[in-house]
Amino acid sequence: MRIARLRTAAVGAAALATAAALLAGCSRDDQPEAGASGAAASDGAVKVGLVQINQQAIFFNQMNEGAQQAADESGVELTIFNANDDPVQQNQAVQNFVQQGFDAVIVVAIDVEGIKPAIQQAAGAGLKVIAVDAIVDDPAVNVQVGVDNAAAGKQIGEFVNSYAEDNGVQPSIGVVGALNSYIQNVRKDSFAETVTTAGAQIVQTVDGKNTQEGAATAAENLLTAQPGMNIVYATGEPALLGTVAAVQSGGAGDRVEVFGWDLTEQAIAGIDAGFVAGVVQQDPRTEGVEAVEAAKALVDGQQVGEQIDVPVTIVTKDNVAPYRQIFG
């Protein structure tokens, strides 16, 4: 199952301000899984479980906040499970939601293949299954919500191509990736195809292992190994955080331009300093809202499209201002 197309859109300052509030879920005494939070049980309410990757990244917290708001507004009883980056825990959480009689499960999959037996069990038990962000290609999935990562990777690649042409640069590109992440590998591959087709050279790809510390070390090694490199592409939030830190600590802001994914306070500081040139900004809060609304509609017997596309924006120095209130 794939997102049909990528829609880019500017995000209004008012909507961005709403996204600033992060989830503050209360713990559930009747929920046995570690890492779960949600509203108190209420008879007759639609019960939805959200199986999250972690609650360290701003991205996932904003998704949780949107999901909780949609649940509150629609009378859904939402329980959020924090898997702490463990795909085995994600599978167990789905199974527990089935056993506890939930009506729907929303999955932000770490392992898009490994999650399939659990969601197949859920669908077989009558639960509605919504996949968010990571594309889970399985008939058990009723709705896929999120960004077309391949199309967005191509879009940021085209942005780099335009930047290089406008500035008379022959791109020599290093990539800070997360090779254990299906999503970030999709972003890496579509970007690489787009820029190399236009004549750029990918000089090296390093693995930040989807952690800020790992990405910082990998980016430092990349900057040292490739003194002639003039562009760095970071495929996710930890990768971009680590890359920004490495550029700052290594005094490399005058020789490389950084492009990447997912704004943070540090990424905005890089934009202000002039070495972060473009950041793909997703809308995780809307992804959370759309997922819960789709779950509720499906449980209520309504028709929902198989693909719900959520727009992205490439943030630069020219349009960063509205985001400062979120990440400042």
Going from N- to C-terminal start, the domains of the chain cover: 13-147+284-310, 149-281
d(CA 254, CA 119): 48
Residue 18 has pLDDT above 50, yes or no: no
Mean pLDDT of 281-295: 97
**pLDDT at residue 119, rounded to an integer:** 98
Q: Determine the pLDDT at residue 86.
A: 95
What fold does the segment set 149-281 form as a domain? Rossmann fold (3.40.50)
Instruction: Write out pLDDT tens, residues 54-71.
Output: 998 889 999 999 999 999
Residue 43 is encoded by which pair of tokens?
């008879």
pLDDT interval class at 43 (50, 70, 90): low
Q: Looking at residue 327, what is its pLDDT?
A: 86
pLDDT of 253 over the 80 cut: yes
pLDDT category, 92, cuts 50, 70, 90?
very high
Please, are residues 136 and 144 in contact by the beta-carbon 8 Å criterion? Answer: yes
**Worst-scoring range by mean pLDDT, 2-16, 131-145, 151-165, 200-214?**
2-16
For domain 13-147+284-310, the CATH class is: alpha beta
Per-residue pLDDT tens over the stretch 115-165: 999 999 999 999 999 999 989 999 999 999 999 999 999 999 999 999 999
Reduce the DSSP state of residue 288 to 3 states and report it.
helix
Burial of 95 (0-12, 13-18, 19+ CB in 10 A): middle
How far does CA 229 lie from the centroid of its chain? 27
pLDDT digits (tens, 9 = 90+) for 223-238: 999 999 999 999 999 9
Q: b vs e for 96-115, b when ≥16 Cβ sit within 10 Å of the residue's Cβ?
A: bbbeeebbbbbbbbbbbeeb
> Which stretches of 21-73 are assigned E, i.e. beta strand?
36-38, 47-52
Answer with the residue of higher pLDDT: 313 or 39: 313
Average pLDDT on 26-31 reads 34
Residue-by-residue DSSP string for 125-184: TT-EEEEESS---STT-SEEEE--HHHHHHHHHHHHHHHHHHHT---EEEEEE-TT-HHH
Average pLDDT over residues 187-211: 97
3-state SS string for 6-23: CCECCCCHHHHHHCCCCC
What pLDDT shows up at residue 44? 83
For 88, 223, 254, 256, the CA distances from 250, given in Å and listed in that order, are 38, 8, 10, 11
Sign of CA dihedral 57, 23, 108, 18: negative
| Average confidence score pLDDT of the chain | 89
C-alpha angle 326/237/146, rounded to 5°? 80
Whether 13-147+284-310 shares its CATH topology with 149-281 is answered yes
**How far apart (Å, rounded) are the C-alpha atoms in residues 96 and 80?**
12
